[in-house]
């Protein structure tokens, strides 16, 4: 049994933003075990007040540099609900295609750049360039393709410009969509290689089980990345659905002393959002190809190992790939045409939700008769996961103590657990800090 | 193709100077013989532009150089030593120099790249630039475009 351990990981690396891990074990007893989030509030809900509905998504897309597509889509969907706008089938297809691009892009970044170093025993991706150059080159190839894919549909992948309330400001041409399909098809060998790499590393994924409540969007037509109602799946597989408008009854945000971020809970003391939550909620509606990958990875719902969120992301990479090919084929068959934006029919309050790489994302706005925003609310998935990460810590640390884990092993296990959730705690600065050597 | 790229976080004060300059160029239709790209906080996307068809990249980024706020310096990646200690390549930890180094080691063709560094005053959370930088957006845009034209 581990007798004493004192862990203080200040600003955990390889996550998006800042979080701390603090564990004190004395004489075999856990005296402190906390996942702390010290990020400062960013006040986006205040920033959108007084802005016209046409501007709101451009502001809220800046909440995140990785999930800016998701924030844009959740935002325009919320605005459309508030404004009484029903978009066309073509708009829905193009948004689904854009959503897939973001999910694919972000999951490739997380699996290859942030998690793979743990599984390969490297401190970061940098040494892997020399030892596993082909793997890093493949990751960059996949990321580049995802960037081009998202840029075509969204105008640009970071803070997209084309999705707006009522439709799309511009749409891709038939030839561009055909070229995108060819580009995607050329990635098939890289997808196969990705699965092989993950299967080879799978034995290094820790075995841990703590089933929880899983919350994700769900619908009866597809995997639900872009749209659906809110669905809860409990550890016994019991499911319940809620309208998106009732999202506050699901998220039930509250504050805790150890964190500046709000926590969330529904039926259990915590719930999980993200790839594993989607997998557990919507497994039946995965494409056959994605189901095949899940089988190879030995995954089936309800999967209670949070470390396997990364494996669920690999399943989703394949899901996004094949479902996008299907969408492109449909668009090529029906033809893509320029459509006028659908105009507002009312000015009221409305909520919208979409799945971003890290889980279910809610936006809600109220507009006055001039179309100006008077209130906003955004609930991001990482905040919904904080309580669940803490719940995992509370079960994992005693298990590690019982296994006589060293302080170093305990620290790595906790770091890997947090990283598995792919948390995106806030967006930080990216400036250069240099000295001239010329 | 020649590219003028802006990097930075729109909500972190002067860190956004690169994307603000790109925004100004786009709003004023100043693209002429080049494409203006808002890279936001996702510098890894740089790899999407590293191919034989790319003849020049000028990247605008907030850069701590020890100069007065708002001062500008043009430099190549080889002319500086980074002081950032990075353990990962998330969009939080990475920066342009890191991405370039990895891309180079992974075999990507590296076109002529010049960085237009602008000394920030504040990197605190804010949707606004400090006045020292904000009042010079037009000047920075003109400077960037004219420098890109001098690149081979």
- The predicted structure's pLDDT at residue A15: 54
Q: How far apart are CA B21 and CA B33, in angstroms?
A: 17
Q: How far apart are CA B130 and CA B69, in angstroms?
A: 9
pLDDT at A9 over 50: yes
Domains with residue ranges and CATH for chain A: 44-383 (1.10.645.10)
- The predicted structure's pLDDT at residue A392: 97
For residue B75, what is the nearest residue in chain A, using CA coordinates? A436
In the CATH scheme, what architecture does the domain B2-150 have?
3-Layer(aba) Sandwich (3.40)
* Phi, psi at A95, each rounded to 5°: -70, -40
Torsion of CA A191, A110, A151, B114, to 10 degrees: -110
Q: Which of A366, A391, A223 is nearest to A304 (CA)?
A: A391
**pLDDT, tens only, A365-374:** 999 999 999 9
- The predicted structure's pLDDT at residue B71: 96
Q: How far apart are CA A94 and CA A160, in angstroms?
A: 13
**pLDDT, tens only, A274-291:** 999 999 999 999 999 999
Please give the mean pLDDT across all residues of chain B. 86
pLDDT range class, residue B94, cuts 50, 70, 90: low
- The predicted structure's pLDDT at residue A428: 42
Q: Determine if the peptide bond prior to A60 is cis (ω within 30°).
A: no
Nearest to A14 among B88, B107, B108 (CB): B88
pLDDT at B89 over 70: no
The H or E element containing residue A164 is strand A163-164
For residue B126, what is the nearest residue in chain A, using CA coordinates? A42
Q: How far apart are CA A62 and CA A262, in angstroms?
A: 20
**pLDDT, tens only, A107-161:** 998 899 888 888 888 877 778 888 888 898 899 899 989 989 999 999 876 678 8
For residue B50, what is the nearest residue in chain A, using CA coordinates? A144
pLDDT at A379 over 70: yes
- The predicted structure's pLDDT at residue A41: 62
- CB of B26 less than 8 A from some CB of A: no
More confident residue, A20 or A357: A357
- CB of B119 less than 8 A from some CB of A: no
Please give the mean pLDDT across all residues of chain A. 90
- Nearest chain A Cα distance for residue B110, angstroms: 14
Q: How far apart are CA A290 and CA A318, in angstroms?
A: 5
pLDDT range class, residue A357, cuts 50, 70, 90: very high
Domain layout of chain B by residue ranges: 2-150
Q: How far apart are CA B132 and CA B70, in angstroms?
A: 6
For residue B127, what is the nearest residue in chain A, using CA coordinates? A47
Do A102 and A163 touch, CB atoms closer than 8 A?
no
What token pair was written down for A103? Answer: 């999910």
Q: What is the arithmetic mean of pLDDT over A400-422?
A: 91
Q: Which residues of A touch B80 (CB under 8 A)?
A: 432, 434-437
One-character DSSP codes across B68-137: -TT-EEEE-GGGEEE----S--STTT--HHHHHHHHHHTT-----EEEEEE--S--SSBSS--HHHHTTH
Interface TM-score (ipTM) > 0.85: no
Q: Which residues of A touch B73 (CB under 8 A)?
A: 436
Nearest to A62 among B11, B82, B105 (CB): B11
More confident residue, A128 or A355: A355
Do A372 and A69 touch, CB atoms closer than 8 A?
no
Q: What is the arithmetic mean of pLDDT over A248-263?
A: 88
């Amino acid at each position: 049994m581990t007798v004493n351990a004192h862990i203080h990981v200040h600003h955990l690396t390889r996550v998006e933003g800042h979080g701390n891990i603090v564990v004190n074990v004395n004489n075999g007893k856990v005296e402190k075990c906390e996942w702390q989030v010290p990020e400062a509030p960013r006040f986006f809900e205040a920033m959108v007040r007084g802005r016209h509905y046409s501007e709101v998504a451009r502001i809220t897309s800046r909440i995140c540099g990785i999930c800016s597509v998701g924030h844009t889509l959740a935002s325009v969907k919320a605005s459309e609900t508030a404004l009484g706008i029903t978009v066309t089938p073509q708009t829905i297809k193009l948004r689904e295609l854009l959503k897939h691009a973001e999910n694919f892009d972000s999951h490739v970044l997380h699996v290859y750049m942030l998690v793979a170093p743990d599984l390969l025993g490297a401190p970061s991706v940098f040494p892997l360039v020399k030892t596993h150059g082909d793997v890093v080159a493949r990751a960059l190839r996949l990321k580049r393709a995802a960037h081009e894919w998202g840029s075509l549909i969204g105008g640009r992948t970071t803070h997209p410009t084309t999705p707006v309330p009522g439709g799309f400001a511009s749409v891709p041409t038939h030839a561009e969509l055909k070229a995108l399909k060819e580009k995607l098809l050329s990635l098939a060998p890289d997808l196969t290689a990705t699965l092989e790499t993950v299967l080879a590393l799978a034995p290094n994924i820790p075995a841990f089980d703590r089933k929880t409540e899983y919350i994700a969007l769900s619908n009866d037509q597809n995997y639900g990345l872009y749209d659906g109602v809110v669905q809860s799946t409990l550890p016994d597989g019991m499911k319940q659905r809620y309208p998106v408008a009732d999202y506050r009854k699901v998220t039930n945000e509250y504050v805790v002393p150890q964190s500046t971020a709000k926590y969330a809970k529904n039926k259990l003391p915590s719930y999980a959002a993200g790839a594993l939550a989607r997998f557990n909620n919507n497994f039946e509606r995965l494409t056959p190809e994605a189901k095949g990958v899940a089988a190879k990875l030995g995954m089936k719902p309800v999967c209670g190992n949070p470390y396997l969120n990364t494996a669920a992301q690999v399943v989703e990479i394949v899901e996004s790939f094949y479902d996008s090919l299907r969408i492109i084929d449909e668009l090529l068959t029906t033809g893509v045409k320029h459509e006028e934006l659908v105009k507002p029919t009312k000015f009221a309050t409305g909520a919208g939700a979409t799945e971003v790489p890290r889980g279910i994302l809610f936006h809600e706005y109220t507009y006055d008769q001039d179309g100006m925003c008077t209130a906003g609310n955004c609930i991001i998935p990482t905040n919904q996961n904080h309580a669940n990460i803490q719940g995992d810590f509370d079960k994992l640390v005693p298990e590690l103590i019982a296994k006589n884990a060293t302080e170093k092993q305990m620290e790595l296990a906790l770091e890997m657990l947090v990283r598995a959730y792919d948390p995106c705690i806030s967006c930080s600065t990216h400036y250069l800090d240099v000295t001239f050597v010329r | 193709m020649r590219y003028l790229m802006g990097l930075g976080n729109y909500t972190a004060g002067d860190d956004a100077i690169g994307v603000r300059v790109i925004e100004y160029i786009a709003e004023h239709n100043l693209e002429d013989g080049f494409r203006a790209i808002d890279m936001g906080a996702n510098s890894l996307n740089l790899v999407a532009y590293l191919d034989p068809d790319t003849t020049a990249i000028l990247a605008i980024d907030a850069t701590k150089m020890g100069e007065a706020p708002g001062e500008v310096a043009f430099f190549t990646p080889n002319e500086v030593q980074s002081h950032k200690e990075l353990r990962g390549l998330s969009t939080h930890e990475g920066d342009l120099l890191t991405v370039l180094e990895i891309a180079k080691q992974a075999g990507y063709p590296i076109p002529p790249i010049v960085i237009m560094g602008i000394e920030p005053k504040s990197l605190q959370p804010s949707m606004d630039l400090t006045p020292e930088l904000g009042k010079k957006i037009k000047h920075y845009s003109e400077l960037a475009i004219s420098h890109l034209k001098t690149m081979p």
